[in-house]
Every structure is written in C-alpha cells, then in structure tokens.
Homo-oligomer: A and B are copies of this chain.
Amino acid sequence: MATPIFLIQFGLGTVGQALTEQVLATRESQARYGIDLRYVALADSDGALVSERALEDGVIQSASRFKQRGGRLAEHDLGYYQDNLKALVDTMGQPRTIVIDTTAAAPDTVFPAFELALSRGYALALANKKPLADAQARWDHLTAGGRIGYEATVGAGLPVISTLRYLLDTNDEVTKIEGAFSGTLGFLMGELECGTSFSASVREAKARGWTEPDPRDDLSGLDVARKALILARTLGATLELADVALTPLYPADFAALSLDEFMARLEELDPLLADQQRAVQERGAFLRYGASVKVGQETSSLVVGPLTVDSENPLAALRGPDNLISFHSARYSARPLVIRGPGAGAAVTASGLLGDILRLSQHL
C-alpha cells in the first residue's frame, strides 16, 4: 500500500507546469518507492486551486493549460483568490506534506510559509534560489532539520547538489568548486571568444529572449553569485551574499542607468571586454564567466566574475550555454570530478525538483 505524500506547490509557470506533468507521469517510480504523490494545492501569485484529499489529474492539467494561455488561478473555474502562502500551508498541510517553490519570489514572500511548514514537520523542495541566498540565519533555519531539497537551484537537473552531498557524506574534503552556471553568460563569453563584439551579442541574446528583460539582471552575475553562495553554505561556510567578490559584466556607473539608457550605451563596453579577451588569449588562456568557491576552516573565498582559466581547466573546454561544475577534493585532487550539461530549462529544472521530492518522501 503506497503512502500518500501531499504536495503544495507555489508557482505554475513553465517550471511548475513541467513539474505537475512529471508528477502525473511518474506513478510507476512513485509506486516503486512506496509513495503516492497527491497535489492538495497549486498556487500562483494571487490565486490557488485546492483539494484536501487530492486535486484530480484533469483539474491539474486544466489549471496548467489555463496558465499557459496567460490565465491567473484566481480566475480559473475552480480557483479562488489567495495572497497568503502561509495560510495556504496552514490549511492544506497535514502529516507527510512537501511544500514546493517553483517561483522566483522574494524571500519575505515565501519564508513565513516555509517556516510554518518546517515547524509542522513538512519538507521543502525549492527551485527558488532567493530564500536560500538570503540571510545566513534563514539558511540555517531552512536546512537545520535536513528536510529540504534544492537540487534545482544550481545547474537545474544536473546532479550538482546531490554529488556535493555525497562527497561530504563520505567524508571527502572538498577544497574547491569551480563552475559556470549561466547559459546566457556562457553564450556571451563564447561569442566574445569568436570575435563578436560584446554589445552585438548582448543585443542578439536579448532579441532571442535568452536574457531577462533587463539584460543587467544576467550581466550583474547576481544569479551566479546566489548559486555560488548556496554551494558555499552547503559546504558549511557562514557567508552572506555581500561576501561574494562579485564582478558584473558592466561598470558600476552603468547600474543606475534606465534600461533604455543602458541599451543605448552598450557599445561603450565593447573595448573593455575585447581588451580582456585579447589579454587572456595572448596568455594562451580562456575567459569564462564563472564562480570559484573555496571554503576553509579559517578563511573562505567566493569569487564570481570573469575568470581566467588555463587550458588544463575543465572550464576551458566549455563552449556555449552548457553549465559545468568541477569538484576538487582530497580524493579528486589530481583531477577533479566534473559534471556538465544544460543547466536551465523547464523540464530539467522540474526533474531536479522531482528527484528531491522522491528522496524527501521517504523520510516523511
């Protein structure tokens, strides 16, 4: 007899939709693990669909299609208005519940709901990096009981967090983690290497929808910094986002510009980037936008920005939008353990969440 596991999901965007689809499609794996995943609530920013026993498959699919067409759950036939995720967890949670966050919501929006969930013994599965990259005290609170999964926050579905956890569990000493965690920045650095101007490739990436509406949200490196911080904290470091030595791909005075001004002045950045690229190339090295994470007992360092890597570095072989992460440790000292592959996309991000859900289910 399969044990029911109750799911409350925040967000029904592309990742949330992919996850509901995968949950419905994996009845067989669930049975193998002796569990039966049941959605009791699906929420977006101001609406929700709920059912105490379980939302029917047809209802979940209809909600998903409704969102794809641009609808809001509050306006769905079976939906209702809600703007309090904590209250939703309060009313819909019961023993063996997992609260899933597929949003990019601000920490303050979701943290009270997470806090309540953990206090009730529920588990959390997060694709949302922001609550995990918020104050260290919040990280400590969220991770203290080990009832949290966040594989999808770094490298989407790539087994990054699980591999790190495995190295730590088997008592390996992880000395350094290096990686490239942004497909968009990977594309831009690749274009730069091919001689395309920085401004032209930013314009192209923006036109193709590969950047955020304001490309500075990618170019700032802030998203990479959050991922680096999550890795460092998983390694046991006590650090804040402000401790990351972060170098954006634009000068400080470009931060205050309006989006239109920024786009208009993009060409001013070309010589700077071209010079950097040339200098690195002349040394026989490679310029990659990435993160270097070193956590020691005395000091830790977290560097995010354009990295100069030599030809021996696994990052040197990286072209295009793939993510790549290399773990250097006592056991992997001569040569690192490397994981590489697409690190973004709805289906692979959802699979990272689903992997967490399957694992967490067995401890509820």
Complex formed: what's the CA distance from A335 to B358 in Å?
Answer: 25
* Of B339, B358, B363, the contact of A338 (CB 8 Å cutoff): B339
The oligomer's copy count stands at 2
* Of B146, B166, B167, B334, the contact of A342 (CB 8 Å cutoff): B334
Min CB distance A69 to B, Å, is 24
Interface segment out of the listed A56-64, A208-216, A346-354: A346-354
Answer yes or no: A313 CB below 8 A from chain B CBs.
no
* Of B146, B336, B348, the contact of A332 (CB 8 Å cutoff): B348
**A166–B170 CB distance below 8 A:** no
**B162–A29 CB distance below 8 A:** no
Answer yes or no: A88 CB below 8 A from chain B CBs.
no
**A157–B342 CB distance below 8 A:** no
Q: Within A1-59, which residues are at the interface with B (CB < 8 Å)?
A: 22, 25-26, 28-29, 32-33
**B29–A169 CB distance below 8 A:** yes
**A355–B169 CB distance below 8 A:** yes
**A314–B340 CB distance below 8 A:** yes
**A22–B171 CB distance below 8 A:** yes
Answer yes or no: A205 CB below 8 A from chain B CBs.
no
Answer yes or no: A109 CB below 8 A from chain B CBs.
no
Sampled A-B contacts (20; CB under 8 Å)? A25-B171, A26-B170, A26-B171, A29-B169, A29-B171, A159-B159, A159-B166, A162-B166, A166-B351, A170-B351, A170-B354, A170-B355, A170-B358, A322-B335, A331-B347, A331-B348, A331-B351, A337-B340, A338-B341, A362-B363
Answer yes or no: A168 CB below 8 A from chain B CBs.
yes
Name the B residues within 8 Å of A167 (CB-CB).
351
Name the B residues within 8 Å of A300 (CB-CB).
none
